[in-house]
Amino acid sequence: MKYTALILLASASIALAGTPTDKPAPPAPPPPPGYAPITFFDGKITVDVQEKMRAEVRENNFDFNSAINGPQDASWLLNRFRLGIGYSVTPWLKLYVQGQDVREIGGSRPNEIGTFAAEGDDTFDILKAYVQAGDLKKGFSTTVGRQFLSYGDQRLVGPLEWLNQARTFDAIKLRYAKPTWSLDIFTSSPVNFKDHMWNQSDFLDNDEGRNSIFSGAYFSMPTLVPWHSTTDFYAFHKMEDKTSAAAAAGPPLGFAGDTNFWTLGMLMKGDPKKLNGFDYEMEMAYQFGKAADQDLSAFAGHYGVGYNWLKNPWKPRVGVQYNYGSGDENPADGNNNTFQNLYPTNHMFYGYMDTTGWINMHNPQLNISFMPTPKLKIMLDYHLYWMATNDDAWYRVNGTTTVRPLNAASRSASNFRGQEFDVTAVYKLNPHVALQAGYSLFVAGSYLADTGASDNAHFGYLQVQFDF
């Protein structure tokens, strides 16, 4: 069934997008000053290279216990190398393949991706490999093959570029674009990263019993409201076959069974240039269907407002926001109210220490940013965290791992998790080199004290990235 649906959509996509237009596609916008892409044969062949290194040090990020020196309480170096090659067969047909090699050096975690939260090793493998027909900015186009999926602010669907291996899908995507709106329709299967073997998605791996298929439609219309930078509407569908309790992907905790649910949502963003320096954001998503054989009804919301000093050379901004993800108040009733966070880039939103996802939480924030020079941006973020309900777990950024066991102690504990302070600096040395550094402090709250160790946690990192 899953093969038939993907093949039909692929055939329809290529039929719609695979015919050249009467006029050649418009030339690409000029590259930024100082940037010189690597091209051959009059631009028909392009080569891109990325090298990223990040040194991290973590203490108590996972157990909040200074008395125990666990495998996550250490320092290590993460290295990522990418090499991509693109070939423009015609102005409307492009082939692209990108390989990636990731390594985790030092520390005491096993070098297996996901074990004790390790980013691990994955010897050179295929990250992207797709055929793209049509013009992504005008009319029909389609992209078929291994690719990134990124929608809206990436709260539900994003490539998770912070993670060393990132996230990619084997997917078929059909797009129609006009100057004032665009619509994407896609179906996909997430790729599983495993060292010493070719990475495969559930769709391609005959030994994978989960058979996860993720599909959706995403409509974006920046001009719908005059003072908006975008107004988006989306519908996502996730389907998985029955899995064991130990391998069940995502909450509800401890349940197993077939998953088949929808996520309907919208995103609105105000444009500060049209609102005298003010901006605002609102994203809301509702889910219904089946999650691990339980009836799903869940909600999540993001609401933010800020002010930008547009004429100040430092470009300062001060903003506040509130994030909410529902939790399940009665795990034994056959209904599930735990919001399913899908495939997000959570690292950008709920604290750089990655202690929480958009699940079973209240998260008010204060955000401050400024640019002392055109190349340097500094961001200061303050987070507070509460449980939406103590009858559900505190889920980490990956949406599956929990901070503490769900038991009598956690159910009767305070619902205040704690607070986090983040300081981040990004320096763009030139179009090819970017530096980033950050420090985070998590001050443990009474929920941790009521359920076990409650020592403060620390996280620091230094990153350099080269792009050519």
More confident residue, 133 or 111: 133
Beta-strand relationship, 376-387 and 259-270: unpaired
For residue 256, the model assigns a pLDDT of 66
Q: What domains are defined for the chain?
A: 2-467 (2.40.160.100)
**pLDDT higher than 80, residue 22:** no
Contacts of 351 (CB under 8 A, 6+ apart): 381, 383, 385, 420, 422, 440, 442
For residue 36, the model assigns a pLDDT of 55
pLDDT tens, 387-418?
Answer: 999 999 999 998 889 999 999 999 999 999 99
For residue 12, the model assigns a pLDDT of 38
Instruction: Report the chain's C-alpha Rg in angstroms.
Output: 23
More confident residue, 30 or 102: 102
Q: State if pTM tops 0.95.
A: no
Sign of CA dihedral 290, 5, 220, 352: positive
**pLDDT higher than 50, residue 106:** yes
Span of 15-24, 293-302, 359-368, 439-448 with lowest mean pLDDT: 15-24
More confident residue, 227 or 263: 263
Q: What is the DSSP string of 68-136?
A: ---TTSSEEEEEEEEEEEEEEEETTEEEEEEEEEEEEESSSS-SSTTGGG----EEEEEEEEEEEEEET
Backbone angles phi, psi at 13, to 5 degrees: -65, -45
**DSSP H or E run through 459:** strand 457-467
pLDDT tens, 197-206?
Answer: 889 988 877 6
For residue 30, the model assigns a pLDDT of 43
Mean pLDDT, residues 270-297 taken together: 95
For residue 292, the model assigns a pLDDT of 86
For residue 289, the model assigns a pLDDT of 96
Of the chain, the percentage scoring pLDDT greater than 90 comes to 75
**The tokens 């291994």 sit on which residue?**
146
Nearest alpha-carbon partner for 88 in 121, 22, 40, 51: 40
Mean pLDDT, residues 42-49 taken together: 91
More confident residue, 245 or 315: 315
For residue 110, the model assigns a pLDDT of 85
More confident residue, 305 or 4: 305
Q: Which one-letter amino acid corresponds to residue 162?
A: W
pLDDT band, very low/low/confident/very high, at 251 (cuts 50, 70, 90):
low
For residue 79, the model assigns a pLDDT of 97
pLDDT tens, 307-359?
Answer: 999 999 999 999 999 999 999 999 888 899 999 999 999 999 999 999 999 99
Backbone angles phi, psi at 406, to 5 degrees: -85, 105
Mean pLDDT, residues 242-253 taken together: 52
Q: Across all residues in the chain, what is the average pLDDT?
A: 89
**pLDDT higher than 80, residue 274:** yes
CA distances (Å), 4 to each of 9, 130, 205, 215, in order?
A: 9, 19, 16, 14
Span of 12-26, 63-77, 148-162, 316-330 with lowest mean pLDDT: 12-26
For residue 444, the model assigns a pLDDT of 97
Distance of CA 206 to the CA centre of its chain: 26
Q: Are 421 and 444 in contact (CB under 8 A)?
A: no
Among 39-48, 111-120, 235-244, 380-389, the range with the most confident prediction by mean pLDDT is: 380-389
Burial of 67 (0-12, 13-18, 19+ CB in 10 A): exposed
**pLDDT higher than 80, residue 21:** no
Mean pLDDT, residues 174-199 taken together: 93
